[in-house]
Structure 1
Amino acid sequence: MCPQVSDVKALYDQQGYLTSLPILSPEELQQARDAFADLEKKFGEDYTAYSLHNVHMEYDWVMALAKHPKVLESITAVLGPDVLMLDSRFICKYPETDESDPGLPYVAWHQDMKYWGLDGGPVVSVWLALDDSLEDNGALQVIPGTHCSGLLPHRQAKRSGNMLSVNQEIPEELVEKENALLCPLLAGQMSIHDGLLVHASDPNTSQRRRCGFVIRYVPTVAYPIQDPERPRHFPATALVSGVDKYGHFANQKPEM
């Protein structure tokens, strides 16, 4: 039996995330993996690891993932019926041959809202798994309930290999690692988390790729702000559910 919308929202509001949500059928998953393989061949793995940013504007199959009915079922349960896709990115951790390398790619403990100059509403981040995302290949780790702690201080990461584009991290003394939980996913499943939830992921020490599609959603009532600590432009927003009666992001789009 599928959980009621109110139950989904209550659990999300309590812990700040939901995980192991089934999204893609085997056929849909294979189609997405095949399409992504074409991008790997075109751009190379060094590029596809982190630089496929907002390609939903170029590829219909990517936009279709962002608008997938099962994705939006969970997103609208949390945010309400009127939703904008804010941003998207593919993130891949490829197998590394030298596990002793101290600079293996990882994602430091952080909060997404540190990078998003927004107010007026929450951000929900999605990881839609194209590959199994398990402990040995660097699955998402979260600290439940930390979305209620507000925005924490961030600093420049001291450890090399941080995949975050601005190389920031929450200071170790502020991270309650003893409360961290792993969020393993099978390919085709999805996790979602609040923009203030403290989360991270370790290096991929397996012989398997770990690739996922990251999507950010906001309610249409949210709006961009000018914050020098969180500079951000949003040129790739798209209405994915309901109506946008505010148009807060209309002037952020590039002229076509």
Structure 2
Amino acid sequence: MTAPGPDITARYETDGYVVVPGVIDADLVGAANAHVDWLLERHPELTPEQLGHRLCRDDPFWIHLVSDERLLDVAGLFVGPDIALFATHYLCKAPRSGKGVEWHQDGAFWPLEPLNVVTLWLALSDSDPDNGCLRVLPGSHRSTLADMRPAETDSVLRHRIDAEVDEGLAVDLVMRPGDVEVHHPNILHSSMPNRSDRWRRALTIRYIPTSTRITRPDEASPFLLRGVAVPGVNTYLEPPPFRGGNRVSEW
């Protein structure tokens, strides 16, 4: 990846999202996919859609992954030099059975004051309309947060925005493994179920500046990843020790 430049932040300001290609190399993408397989084997009680942030608190590889300098370099363009992890979640859709996600705004769910946060969506597989890629409504980040209502379909969130969405304006984000999409907490986004014979795998990472307060810490995985903490704002967890390998046996 070349160094991220001001065009990235300019596109983000205009559209509420931006795709940065080739951020993460194939070796680390492969290790992340092995990590997903390991988590699913270790937690048979969970579906691929349920690999949530609480699992990462004691997981050395997971914290190693979200601390990757290339990801932090991208996040720093939007939240500044002092970066903490708010939460992270593998968003995986199994072939033929992976669920969709209704239209929503992330910020409607998050206990953050102020709502200064950015999401990095790291593709771990090819992502396209057939296997349920991310869909966004460009420019919708300029809207305020709307109310949510129960969804009428069996989706991951089980809620959707309580407003009409012009899906004709939606953009399907076709991405390759290692690409990163960055989006604003107010942007409207969704995804369709996976109807293909392929996995769709991604990792979402929610980065905040250390000046943002997590008001319900039990709903977060707060780790200081770069820079300095603001005194009295958040209490950060101690990172689990990572032995420096990308193979399952080294975690």
Distance 2:142 2:214 in 1: 21
Q: Any conservation in 1 of the 2:17–2:183 contact (CA below 8 Å)?
A: yes
Aligned to 1:101: none
Choose the corresponding residue for 1:223, options 213, 224, 240: 213
Change in CA separation of 1:18 and 1:141 when aligned onto 2, cut-off 3 Å: same
Q: Which amino acid aligns with 1:168?
A: H
Q: Any conservation in 2 of the 1:235–1:253 contact (CA below 8 Å)?
A: no
Q: Any conservation in 2 of the 1:20–1:185 contact (CA below 8 Å)?
A: no
Q: Any conservation in 2 of the 1:107–1:162 contact (CA below 8 Å)?
A: yes
Q: After superposition, what is the alpha-carbon deviation per residue over 1:90-112, rounded to whole angstroms, capped at 9, x for unaligned?
A: 12111126xxxxxx611000000
1:238 aligns to 2:205 (yes or no): no
Q: After superposition, what is the alpha-carbon deviation per residue over 1:109-164, rounded to whole angstroms, capped at 9, x for unaligned?
A: 000011002222422112112211111000000011111111122111122x1101
Q: Which amino acid aligns with 2:19?
A: T
CA RMSD of aligned residues (A): 2.3
Aligned to 2:95: 95
Q: Any conservation in 2 of the 1:110–1:200 contact (CA below 8 Å)?
A: yes
Aligned to 2:159: 168
Q: Any conservation in 2 of the 1:54–1:236 contact (CA below 8 Å)?
A: yes
Aligned to 2:233: 248
- Measure how far apart 1:53 and its partner are: 2.8
Q: Any conservation in 1 of the 2:148–2:161 contact (CA below 8 Å)?
A: yes
Aligned to 1:181: 171
Choose the corresponding residue for 2:105, options 78, 103, 111: 111
Choose the corresponding residue for 2:187, options 178, 193, 197: 197
- Measure how far apart 1:233 and its partner are: 3.8
Q: Any conservation in 2 of the 1:234–1:253 contact (CA below 8 Å)?
A: no
Q: Tell me the secondary structure at the aligned position of residue 193 of structure 2.
A: coil
Q: Tell me the secondary structure at the aligned position of residue 22 of structure 1.
A: coil
Distance 1:3 1:89 in 2: 26
Name the count of aligned residue pairs: 238
Q: Any conservation in 2 of the 1:140–1:182 contact (CA below 8 Å)?
A: yes
Aligned to 2:199: 209
Alignment of 1:47-126 (within 5 A): 47-96=47-96, 105-126=99-120
Q: After superposition, what is the alpha-carbon deviation per residue over 1:70-98, rounded to whole angstroms, capped at 9, x for unaligned?
A: 1111100111111111011112111126x
Q: Tell me the secondary structure at the aligned position of residue 177 of structure 2.
A: coil
Distance 1:2 1:51 in 2: 31
1:22 aligns to 2:22 (yes or no): yes
Q: Any conservation in 1 of the 2:104–2:188 contact (CA below 8 Å)?
A: yes
TM-score normalised to the size of structure 2? 0.86
Q: Which amino acid aligns with 1:40?
A: L
Q: After superposition, what is the alpha-carbon deviation per residue over 1:218-243, rounded to whole angstroms, capped at 9, x for unaligned?
A: 11111234xxxxx7744420111211
List alignment gaps of at least 5 residues for structure 2.
239-251
List alignment gaps of at least 5 residues for structure 1.
98-103, 226-230
- Measure how far apart 1:245 and its partner are: 1.7
